[in-house]
């Protein structure tokens, strides 16, 4: 009789279900694992034998054949330890395990431990197998307890996992549908956020136009580019932007934790959206991610999903890297194609760029003289192509030492303004924020009156606006109207949006 239990293995950024099969054959005693198992699975033989001996199990004088099906799919991960050990330990007990999933790495004494491969695989199981029964290590309970659509049983050792399968009265742990964070409730969904501001906008002196642009960008996830002399506050604003972004739903946090696990970060639930700031010397593969036949590694673009991707000193990034941003900025998705694999990453991030006005940085300075020639400035500016700049929603030119004696908005106030605009978007039934709307959604949501439409036509002729630029102006106008608590887009909203447009 062949015993069976289910597990899963990585395939790109997702996973594939694997059926673990065990058979005991009358032959010379041996323990073999087949099914394209890599070294981490082959090494499990020693861990499994030690763990089973630790609980008093004696190996029969038979050949133990373990097969991981489908056999033509490469398998990896030490989480296969537990399902293999369970099949061997339940030999001759007649317990049906073919509807169960099991994940966990075994220590030599039989203790179960968590590893980062497990979490992304559980998301795939939750999508494909509603109410599947899953045995998981107790050490990962803090992460697993929020996963929906699964019946989860926790075990801290191989012995406890066996007791779960041997006891029909075992009950699954309760799924926690809420988190211990501040919450706003919109419709039928809870959205979570944090009130702490380790970096506060009150520390940015003056630069009210730049801060207003940051508020608009955060409210609708609009891409923004700051240009100004060194020290005028470009990076200060970009780093503070993270703390006023819209709140996150539980589903968004689950997706964020999945990406953390895939990138070997320590996974944790937090409503603080990701902030990625790669150096300009970063390689193309580190920005875009890599893919091989057996494994996919998300890059900075994928890890910034639902958060901020900040490129400081933007023109100093490689031309190839900058041009490769065009697809994810436009489609909110990045496809990495290789000979043996094709991986798709979601990339709905807020892009923030910062650059100097010229190579020496003093072109806009009222007190310092620019040392650059017109040719130097032209060469510097030409590093950013027109198609790339056309994907930027807001362009802000900052002045050096711009001070305002009036009290400035702090991050707490700006956060509440962002939340107000966010609520307006969700109450309209939008699944995406204004900056990420599709063309069809723009036509339905970002409607201009006749007077504003005439101004748009004049702007299109005067500034030679592309179709993409017009769509972005409409989306930006909708966000400004939301901040103004306006049901319809007014002429003033469109004119403010046009003032942020990059004109070559």
pLDDT, tens only, 452-478: 999 999 999 999 999 999 999 999 999
CA atoms within 13 A on the CB side of 62: 14
pLDDT tens string 255-281: 888 888 877 677 888 999 999 999 999
Q: pLDDT: is 43 or 178 the higher one?
A: 43
For the chain, percent of residues with pLDDT exceeding 70: 97
CATH value of 3-166 in 3.30.230.10, 3.30.40.230, 3.40.50.620, 2.40.50.140: 3.30.230.10
Q: Is the pLDDT of residue 292 over 90?
A: no
Q: Can you give the residue ranges of every domain in the chain?
A: 3-166, 185-401
pLDDT tens string 166-214: 998 889 998 887 888 999 999 889 999 999 999 999 999 889 999 999 9
Average pLDDT of the segment spanning 72-100? 93
Residue 398 is classified by DSSP as P
Looking only at Cα atoms, what is the longest distance across the chain? 89
Q: Rounded to 10 degrees, what is the CA torsion of 297, 299, 303, 309?
A: 180
Total residues belonging to the chain? 504
Enter the tokens of residue 54. 């630790």
Q: pLDDT: is 379 or 12 the higher one?
A: 379
Nearest partner of 302 among 284, 268, 276, 331, judged by Cα: 276
Please, which pLDDT band fits residue 402 given cuts at 50, 70 and 90?
low
Round the average pLDDT of the chain to a whole number and report it: 92
Please, which pLDDT band fits residue 1 given cuts at 50, 70 and 90?
confident
Average pLDDT of the segment spanning 389-403? 86
- What does the pLDDT read at residue 405? 59
How would you classify the pairing of strands 112-113 and 105-106?
antiparallel
Average pLDDT of the segment spanning 356-368? 91
Contacts of 364 (CB under 8 A, 6+ apart): 227, 228, 229, 357, 397, 398, 399, 400
Q: Taking the model in full, what pTM does it have? A: 0.89
Q: Rounded to 10 degrees, what is the CA torsion of 424, 193, 396, 275?
A: -140
Average pLDDT of the segment spanning 246-250? 95
Q: Is the pLDDT of residue 497 over 80?
A: yes
Q: For residue 457, how many other CB atoms are within 10 A of its CB? A: 12
- What does the pLDDT read at residue 376? 94
- What does the pLDDT read at residue 423? 97
Superfamily of domain 185-401: P-loop containing nucleotide triphosphate hydrolases (3.40.50.300)
Average pLDDT of the segment spanning 300-321? 94
- What does the pLDDT read at residue 124? 83
Question: Within 333-410, where are the H helices?
Answer: 374-381, 386-389
Using an 8 Å Cβ cutoff, are 77 and 10 in contact?
yes
Q: Is the pLDDT of residue 13 over 90?
A: no
């Amino acid at each position: 009789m062949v015993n069976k239990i289910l597990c899963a293995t990585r395939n790109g950024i997702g996973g594939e279900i694997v059926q673990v099969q065990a058979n005991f054959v009358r032959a010379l005693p041996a323990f073999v694992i087949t099914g394209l198992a890599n070294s981490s699975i082959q090494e499990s033989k020693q861990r499994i034998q030690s763990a089973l001996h630790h609980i008093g199990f004696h190996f029969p004088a038979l050949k133990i054949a373990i097969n991981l099906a489908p056999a033509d799919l490469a398998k990896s991960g030490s989480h296969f330890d537990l399902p293999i050990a369970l099949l061997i330990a339940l030999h001759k007990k007649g317990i049906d395990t073919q509807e169960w999933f099991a994940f966990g790495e075994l220590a030599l004494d039989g203790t179960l431990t968590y590893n980062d491969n497990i979490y992304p695989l559980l998301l795939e199981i939750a999508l494909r197998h509603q109410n599947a029964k899953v045995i998981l290590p107790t050490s990962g309970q803090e992460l697993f307890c929020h996963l929906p659509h699964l019946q989860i049983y926790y075990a801290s050792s191989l012995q406890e996992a066996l007791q779960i399968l041997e006891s029909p009265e075992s009950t699954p742990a309760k799924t926690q549908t809420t988190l211990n964070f501040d919450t706003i409730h919109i419709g039928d969904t809870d959205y979570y956020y944090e009130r702490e501001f380790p970096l506060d906008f009150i520390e940015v002196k003056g630069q009210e136009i730049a801060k207003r642009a940051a508020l608009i960008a955060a409210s609708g996830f609009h891409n923004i580019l700051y240009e100004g002399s060194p020290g005028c506050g470009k990076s200060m604003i970009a780093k503070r932007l993270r703390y006023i972004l819209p709140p996150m739903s539980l589903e968004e946090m689950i997706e964020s934790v999945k990406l953390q696990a895939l990138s070997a970060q320590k996974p944790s639930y937090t409503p603080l959206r990701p902030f990625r700031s790669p150096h300009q010397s970063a390689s193309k593969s580190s920005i875009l991610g890599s893919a091989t036949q057996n494994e996919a590694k998300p890059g900075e673009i994928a890890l910034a999903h639902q958060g901020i991707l900040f490129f400081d000193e933007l023109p100093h990034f490689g031309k190839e890297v900058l041009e490769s941003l065009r697809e994810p900025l436009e489609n909110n998705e990045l496809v990495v194609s290789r000979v043996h694999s094709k991986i798709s990453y979601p990339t709905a991030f807020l892009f923030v760029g910062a650059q100097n006005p010229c190579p020496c940085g003093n072109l806009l300075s009222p007190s310092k003289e620019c040392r650059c020639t017109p040719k130097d400035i032209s060469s510097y500016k030409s590093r950013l192509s027109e198609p790339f700049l056309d994907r930027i929603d807001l362009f802000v030119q900052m002045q050096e030492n711009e001070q305002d004696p009036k009290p400035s908005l702090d991050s707490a106030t700006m956060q509440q303004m962002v939340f107000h605009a966010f609520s307006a978007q969700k109450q309209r039934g939008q699944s995406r924020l204004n900056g990420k709307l599709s063309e069809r959604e723009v036509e339905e949501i970002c409607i201009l009156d006749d007077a504003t439409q005439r101004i748009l036509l004049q702007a299109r002729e005067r500034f030679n606006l592309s179709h993409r630029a017009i769509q972005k102006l409409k989306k930006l106008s909708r966000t400004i109207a939301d901040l103004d608590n306006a049901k319809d887009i007014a002429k003033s909203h469109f004119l403010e949006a046009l003032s942020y447009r990059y004109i070559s």
